[in-house]
Structure formats: structure tokens, C-alpha cells
Amino acid sequence: MKKLILPVFASSLLGLAACSTTPACLKTQPYMSAQSFPPLKSPAGLDAPQPDPSMRIPDVAAGPVGYFDEIPADRDAEDPAARCLVTPPAMTSR
């Protein structure tokens, strides 16, 4: 019986800790460190392809943003992900 208590307690603790983590949008995301590369330089006698304007990374004065500073009025203030710019829809109906 005592051998069973520790694994049950540890798995319960891990399960509770997983539920209380910070939403992913409030953490630094990989896209936030994206950088533009200089235009390609081609060797003599070859033409470099034209850059695709749709792939350009825009300049952002305040840096990349993944969340709202304040919770929008149409969001549930109790939801930890309420400040996320992109929030998946609820999986249950109200």
C-alpha cells in the first residue's frame, strides 16, 4: 500500500501543475525572434530571384506582440488566456 501512495501523489501533483501553467501566448514565441535576411547575391552571370513581398517581416516599433496589454471587454476576465490575440474557441457550448 505504501508503495502505491508515492506514485499516485506524484502523478496527482504533476496533473495539477500542468493545469496551472501560463498560457502559451503570454510566453515568448519563436516567431517573435524572426529576422529578415539581406537580399540574395548571385554569382556573376546569374540573376538573383526577386524577393517575395509577402514574405517580408514588417517593422514593429514596440516589438512583436502576442497578447493584449489589457483584457478586452468581450472576453471572460477569469480566463487565463483572455489576453491572447488568438484564442481557440471553447470546446463546450454554454
Question: Domain ranges in the chain?
Answer: 64-89
pLDDT tens per residue, range 10-43: 777 666 665 556 777 778 777 777 777 888 888 9
How far apart, in Å, are the Cα atoms of 92 and each of 40, 67, 80, 88, 89? 49, 24, 17, 12, 9
- Per DSSP, the three-state class of 48 is coil
Of residues 16 and 7, more confidently modeled:
7
Question: What distance in Å separates the CA atoms of residue 94 and residue 84, rounded to the nearest whole number?
Answer: 21
pTM value > 0.85: no
